[in-house]
Structure 1
Amino acid sequence: MYAVIVGAMLIPASFAGAQARPDTPEAVARPASFAHPGVLVSRAQLDVVRSKVKAGKQPWKSAYDQLRSDPLASLSRTPKPRTTVECGPSSNPDHGCSDERTDALAAYADALMWSITGDGRYADKAIQLMDAWSGTLKGHSGHNAPLQTGWSGAGWSRAAELIKHTYPEGWPKAARFATMLRTVYLPGLLKGSGANGNWELIMTDAALGIAVFLDDRASFDRALALWRGRVPAYMYLRSDGPAPLSPPGRPKSGAALTKYWYGQTKLVDGLGQETCRDFGHVAMGFNAAFHGADTARIQGVDLWREQAGRFAAGLEFHAGHETGTPVPSWLCGGSVTKGTGQYWEVGYNALHTRLGMELPRTRALLESRRPMGTDKHSTGWETLTSADNPA
């Protein structure tokens, strides 16, 4: 098989350049019903995690210890629900924004602890957090409301999916929580966003997770369409043409599109729409895309193969500069703002462990930062759930 070089990376020809068309049978074929638990982590993945932790294997044992000691997994946490969460730019004002995000992540932390240890106290704590919000929250307001619903909705859907489908003691108010997700979160998420791409990608990630939890095929398919439109418009490949692809539903071209890409005019494989803003935001956008792809994978839709070359180029390009590759003068005026954070275990695991792609820069970056903790927004403990996990 011929191969294509992207930067210093060898990518199988089947993954480079042209991507699988979304309308091909292999791209749309899927089971008639949803697999549960099936939001970001599957039952088989958790089985691998339990076995690694029980055997004291690294990095899973250290990652588990990190989760267990995280204040978000504390059994003494008190939920702080609000009727309306108001989030301004950069969450200022922060009227319940941080509380909602961290309560959602805490519920997910507890759900993971339950899944790994079998200690029902953690499941009960997750239920307490989710019930507190489902009995109170009516809406979101402010400039960052779409982003906030994405961040929090992603955490809630992961926690709720694990508890509903693995906790034998049951969850009496699960239907009320489902109503909250359906009425308070999902409508706004499916509208998408014209802001920077990390917004629409985390919104899409949350929408996919919520749709799975609700067994809502129509919403799942709408979220898939959003993902398939937004990902190619966020990570550039030369096969896209001389200009980046426009965000779906909100056309941009010419000077407006260049401005949207923060003035970057020279385009190379792996460049992100927010690369010249800062690596932190582009890392969040990439990771949200990876989360959505993994949820879809569990549900029988292989988005990874559709965009493997694009993902690999994006990871290696940014991981290289994050770890010391000199920044050329044509890239972001010769200077980038680093900070890829607690991300990319999911992407590396899918591309390397499952698809066999060699991503040396990404691996070096991840190994220097393991175990990955939480960003306090929408991502948490992914070394534990996704490092070298073939399930």
Structure 2
Amino acid sequence: MFTYENGAAVRRTAFLVIVTALVLGVLAPSADRRAEAAPAAFVHPGVTVSRSQLDFARTKVDAGAQPWKGAFDRMLASRYADLNRPPRPRATVECGSYSNPDNGCTDEREDALAAYADALAWYVTRDERYARKAIELMDAWSAVIKDHTNSNAPLQTGWAGSSWPRAAEIIRYTYPGSWANSGRFATMLRNVYLPEVVNGSHSNGNWELSMMEAAVGISVFLEDKASYDKAMAKFRTRTAAFVYLASDGELPKTVPSQNLDTRDKVVRYWQGQSTFVTGLTQETCRDLTHTGYGISAISHVAETGRIQGQDLYGTDVGERLRQALGFQARYELGAAVPSWLCGGSLHLGLGPVTEVGHNALSHRLGMPMTNNRALTERNRPAGSNNLFVAWETLTHGGNPN
């Protein structure tokens, strides 16, 4: 079967990959054992990046090894790691379509990213100023924010809500100093963020995927097993409806509650695309930037699940992620767009979203990902998309853990 990450080399190694995966338990029937189920005990830090992954990054930076040292230097030189950055919290964040109006939208997202950058900087350098700065940012927002409003409120909450728990996990579980207001921060996540995202969205797929990333990360921080299970179940349904595989049949899978019950409805929802091939996403024909948001969220949730003991990479989630990365990477690298695909024209700009999936599937599991490898290495060190993706060459580039 033709796929965008398959070629002669892949066909020659496919058998070995499958056998290896079976031996490792990756594709064993038990791998899909309610893979959305919360763990008996949550692992911390455990949102997107684990302690062993952080230790690997720290060791590489200390040794001056590339690309990790370059990635760290880029992060440290960014506005997000600026120790003089003033927090800009507000009680109500109002975000319209494409953040217009932008009443606190950029400030919230960037303060959350800054808290995460500071948490990473603390872990790598052990300079307590960065830990205290992350705490300052998290405390400022937890003291003030009450609501998100206007049309982009669910997406905005998902974006900021994806970054906050990453930062909080690192600080709460690795910083020996005091974080007196950690309970207030947890209350903020539970009362302001989680209710806005955990029930999902009927908008484009990147919305719900980003919202489920936030819901999963928040659930880990709160050790909320019920919310974790609910978010993971929605995530798996949406991932299957976001990335097409030939095994899905003539038409892509859908989210049942959206009532996409005719071919015409499905085609309209897929941006007018009527030819479906493995690796195509629901937003490919919109643009690769929004496609990248969805792909990134899939990789982040799969990575969080892996840290928590659930093997999502060994389910269809891993194959959809691999094929989506390969399909998009092919065109991002400059391949000619065929006439049947999006009318023969694509809006490029995938963004710094390939590192986590590539590390998990290619580096750790040995799956061939020629296109994505080329794109990932071309774009190193990956920075931030200024929304919810940040510093993934540092945390996941070539990371065996």
Name the structure 1 match of 2:355.
345
Specify which of 68, 74, 81 is matched with residue 66 of structure 1.
74
Aligned counterparts of 1:353 and 1:107: Cα–Cα separation in 2: 28
Match runs of 1:123-162 below 5 Å:
123-162=131-170
Equivalent-residue separation in structure 1 for 2:261 and 2:99 (angstroms) = 30
Candidates 3, 7, 15, aligned match of 1:6: 3
Q: Aligned partner of 1:33: which letter?
A: A
Shift of the alpha carbon at 1:42? 0.3
TM-score by length of 1: 0.95
Structure 1 unaligned blocks of 5 or more: none
TM norm structure 2? 0.93
Q: State whether structure 2 residue 182 is matched by structure 1 residue 185.
A: no
Q: Does 1:389 align with 2:399?
A: yes
Task: List alignment gaps of at least 5 residues for structure 2.
Answer: 22-26
Counterpart-to-counterpart distance in 1, 2:89 and 2:29: 43
On the 8 A contact 2:356/2:392 being kept in 1, the answer is yes
Contact 1:22 1:28 in 2 (8 A): no
Amino acid at match of 1:350: A
Aligned partners of 1:248 and 1:363: how far apart in 2?
35
Matches of 2:36 and 2:158, distance apart in 1: 24
Counterpart-to-counterpart distance in 2, 1:330 and 1:22: 39
Q: CA deviation at 1:22?
A: 9.4
Give aligned-pair identity as a percent.
Answer: 52
CA distance in 1, matches of 2:4, 2:114: 39
Alignment check: 8 A CA contact 1:226 1:248 kept: no
In the TM superposition, what is the alpha-carbon distance from 1:253 to its structure 2 partner?
A: 2.5
CA RMSD of aligned residues (A): 1.7
Residue 342 (structure 1) shift: 1.4
Is this contact kept in 2: 1:108–1:159, CA < 8 A? Answer: yes
Of 344, 367, 374 in structure 1, the residue corresponding to residue 377 of structure 2 is 367
Structure 2 partner of 1:230? 238
Q: Residues 189, 237 of structure 1: CA spacing in aligned structure 2 closer, same or farther, 3 A cutoff?
A: same
Distance in 2 (CA, whole Å) between partners of 1:102 and 1:142 is 19
| Contact 2:42/2:220 (<8 A) preserved | yes
Partners of 1:150 and 1:45 in 2: CA distance: 24
Distance between the aligned counterparts of 1:339 and 1:313, measured in 2?
Answer: 18
Deviations 1:158-182 (A, max 9, x none): 0111111111012100000000000
* Residue of structure 1 in register with 2:331 after alignment: 321
1:339 deviates by 0.6
Matched, 1:34 2:47: no
| Partners of 1:344 and 1:8 in 2: CA distance | 14
Amino acid of the residue matched to residue 217 of structure 1?
Answer: K
Please tell me whether the aligned partners of residues 332 and 349 of structure 2 are also in contact (alpha carbons under 8 angstroms). yes
How many Å apart are 1:23 and its aligned residue? 9.3
1:262 corresponds to 2:268: no
Looking at structure 2, the residues matched to 251 and 294 of structure 1 have their Cα atoms a distance apart, in angstroms, of 30
1:116-156 deviations in Å (ceiling 9; x for gaps): 11111000000000000000000000000000000000011
In structure 2, the residue matched to 1:243 is 251
1:173-214 deviation digits (Å, cap 9, x = unpaired): 000000000000101111100110000001000100000000
